[in-house]
Amino acid sequence: MKNNMIGSKLGLVIMSVFVIVLLSLGVVIDRMFTSFYYKQMQTETEELASHFTGMAQSKESSTGQMMMTFAEFSNVSIFNILRDGRTDLHSGVHDSADRAFIRPADIAAIFNGKTVSFLYKDPAGHRYFVTGQPISDGATVSSALYVMSSTESMEQSLASVRNILLLAGIGAFLLALGITWFIAQLLSRPLLQMQKATRKIAAGELETRLTIRGKDEIGFLAVAINDLAVDLQRYRDTRQEFLANISHELRTPITYLQGYAKVVKEELYETKEEKDLYLDIIDQEAHRLQHLVDDLFELAKMEEGKIPLNLEQVNLRQIVDQAVRRVELSAKEKGLQLTAVYSGRMDRGIQGDSKRMEQIVMNLLENAVRYTEKGEIRASLTFTPASAVFVVEDTGIGIPEAELPYIFDRFYRVEKSRSRQYGGTGLGLSIVNKLVELLGGTIVITSEVGVGTRCEVTFAR
């Protein structure tokens, strides 16, 4: 049980609740039976007293003997008390010398025509149910008749009932103990599995998976843990891949910078043109390195929510026009046809950050040029009363369907085998996605391998 503390606690709580319910139920049942027996005995004693009173009020000479015989037969004791306190008649097993049950207040009430009923315990410890009724002699009360019925048989019956309740309670407790242990183990087992699984995941065993199935909260929690393990595993893999890629990306320009800087420094060139060529290479590689570092810092700021936005009314058509003209030369160098189409009425600007929107448009257009070898690239901007939709479609290599859910993940690169050919660090689309979210827009990318890719960005107006 030491290794299953949650099962022990759960079982203790269930058993505590069950014991409280069982004890409460036992007390209620005991009170119910006790009340029933006392009420029954009170009714029987009062009926016997009424019968004895009727016999005493008859004028037959044998009344006294009949009352004594009936008292012995009914297993009760009777006392007939006169006004002066003398005992006119006594019968039954109760000691006639014990008259403690005859109280002055009760005598006064009986001689006033009232009936009294109470429980009485004699000096020997025996309990009786006592009923006192008036015996009338015409219009006046001549004596008080007390009928004493022993509670011994009632108490024996109650003791039997209590024994049955006790045995039933013990049986129910043992049965509940077994059921509670089973339920506690059943409910705690998946939690223990989750504990072990999360410890393994925390220790780096990200291949750990839970096999718990269910349509309840425990099942949903197991699915969430499995999803977390999958995400962590993918994050670890992409991070490792990114570190390898970024190391390679950094090593290449640094190697160029070091090599050509050494050539220029040691004057290992023959002509001024050759020197200028080496300086151009150094400049290009420095810009490439700067672009890589900028992307990394940009993404870091976005992740921390520290990127500033300069919100204003933006002319999105002008931004798209300028971006198309900037990438047009790169498209022509690859023999690609680049067209821009505009539709709808732009009666007012878009609320946004012009610099960030330009970054989104440029990134999507540059991606289209980079991954398209032949065919065309089509950029379109459509204005509706509620939104502005910017779409870039190409006839490039496309993205495998299985890769589409991850294209916005940090460090994720689709064309791993041809990363050097196409360039990029896997940060571009992640940055675009973050920027679109910050500007309150949505981005959807659909693609088919060998056919092309379609990127659609929607901004609310």
Q: HSE of 3 in the Cβ direction (CA atoms, 13 Å)?
A: 5
CATH of the domain at 260: 1.10.287.130
What is the per-residue pLDDT across 73-123, written as a single tens digit (0 to 9) for each?
A: 777 888 888 877 777 777 777 777 778 888 888 888 888 888 898 888 888
Q: Which of 272, 304, 336 is the last residue of a domain?
A: 304
Give the per-residue pLDDT at 338.
93
Classify residue 225: in a domain, yes or no: yes
245 pLDDT more than 70: no
446 pLDDT more than 90: yes
More confident residue, 161 or 358: 358
Give me the mean pLDDT over the 284-298 stretch.
78
Do 39 and 109 belong to one domain? yes
Host domain of residue 239: 217-304
More confident residue, 259 or 62: 259
Do 9 and 152 belong to one domain? yes
Q: How confident is the model at residue 453 (pLDDT cuts 50, 70, 90)?
A: very high
Give the per-residue pLDDT at 61.
56
CB 133 within 8 A of CB 143: no
67 pLDDT more than 80: no
Do 375 and 450 belong to one domain? yes
Q: Which of 111, 128, 156 is the last residue of a domain?
A: 156
Q: Which residues contact 156 (CB under 8 A, 6 or more apart)?
A: none
Residue that the structure tokens 């400049």 belong to:
283
Give me the mean pLDDT over the 229-246 stretch.
76
How much is the mean pLDDT over the chain?
82
277 pLDDT more than 60: yes
Residue that the structure tokens 């005992």 belong to:
87
Do 348 and 254 belong to one domain? no
The tokens describing 20, both together, are 């409280």
1 pLDDT more than 60: no
Classify residue 73: in a domain, yes or no: yes
Classify residue 60: in a domain, yes or no: yes
Handedness of CA 200, 205, 211, 214 (dihedral sign): positive
Do 129 and 95 belong to one domain? yes
Do 367 and 251 belong to one domain? no
More confident residue, 306 or 78: 78
What is the per-residue pLDDT across 373-428, written as a single tens digit (0 to 9) for each?
A: 899 999 999 999 889 999 999 999 888 988 888 888 765 666 554 444 445 556 77
Asked which of 32-41, 331-340, 373-382, 405-414 is least confident by mean pLDDT, the reply is 405-414
305 pLDDT more than 70: no
222 pLDDT more than 90: no
CATH of the domain at 70: 3.30.450.20
What is the per-residue pLDDT across 6-20, written as a single tens digit (0 to 9) for each?
A: 667 777 887 888 888
Give the per-residue pLDDT at 417.
45
Do 290 and 316 belong to one domain? no
Classify residue 175: in a domain, yes or no: no
Give me the mean pLDDT over the 244-250 stretch.
70
Give the per-residue pLDDT at 445.
94
Give the per-residue pLDDT at 108.
87
Do 334 and 269 belong to one domain? no
Backbone angles phi, psi at 228, to 5 degrees: -65, -40
Torsion angle defined by CA atoms of residues 371, 244, 425 and 230, in that order, rounded to the nearest 10 degrees = 90
* CB-based burial label for 456 (10 Å; 0-12, 13-18, 19+): middle
Do 118 and 224 belong to one domain? no
Give the per-residue pLDDT at 419.
45
CA dist., res. 439 & res. 357, Å (int): 9
Of all residues in the chain, the percent with pLDDT exceeding 90 is 15
Task: Please state whether beta strands 337-343 and 140-150 pair in parallel, antiparallel, or not at all (unpaired).
Answer: unpaired
211 pLDDT more than 90: no
Classify residue 63: in a domain, yes or no: yes
Asked which of 40-54, 236-250, 348-362, 405-419 is least confident by mean pLDDT, the reply is 405-419
CATH of the domain at 363: 3.30.565.10
Number of independent structural domains in the chain: 3
Give the per-residue pLDDT at 25.
86
Q: How confident is the model at residue 286 (pLDDT cuts 50, 70, 90)?
A: confident
Do 243 and 370 belong to one domain? no
141 pLDDT more than 80: yes
Classify residue 168: in a domain, yes or no: no
Give the per-residue pLDDT at 420.
44
Q: Which of 156, 171, 204 is the last residue of a domain?
A: 156
Q: HSE of 329 in the Cβ direction (CA atoms, 13 Å)?
A: 2
Classify residue 245: in a domain, yes or no: yes
The tokens describing 2, both together, are 């030491």
Classify residue 164: in a domain, yes or no: no
Do 273 and 393 belong to one domain? no
What is the per-residue pLDDT across 152-173, written as a single tens digit (0 to 9) for each?
A: 888 888 888 888 888 888 888 8
Q: Which residues contact 234 (CB under 8 A, 6 or more apart)?
A: 406, 409
Do 338 and 450 belong to one domain? yes
More confident residue, 356 or 204: 356
